[in-house]
Amino acid sequence: MNDIIIDFKNKCNNWDKYTTQEVVFNTNLETIDISKVKYILVGDNPGKNEKVKKKYLIGTTMELLSDAFLKNF
C-alpha cells in the first residue's frame, strides 16, 4: 500500500476523535495502484451500507454514477 494511502487512513481514523460525524476510510483505496489513477470521485455523507462495508459509492448510487461516468469519459 502506498504511503499516501496509509497516511490518509491514519488521518481518517484520528478524525473520528474530533467530530460528531462518523469518518469512513474507503477500504477500496488499499487495493488500487495510484500510478494508474485518472479521476477521483469524492463521496460524502456515507449511508448505512457504506458505513458497514467501509466503502463509498456502493449500491444504487454507484450504479448510476458508473453509467454516467463511463458514458461520458
- pLDDT tens column, 13-59: 888 788 777 777 888 888 888 888 887 777 777 777 877 887 777 77
Q: What is the pTM of this model?
A: 0.57
Give the domain extent around 11.
3-72
Q: Which alpha helices (H) appear in the chain, and where do they start and end?
A: 3-15, 48-53, 60-72
Distance CA 48, CA 4 (A): 27
Is the predicted pLDDT of residue 73 greater than 70, yes or no?
no
Please compute the mean of the pLDDT values over residues 1-8 and round it to a whole number. Answer: 86
Higher pLDDT, residue 25 or 7:
7
- Number of domain units in the chain: 1
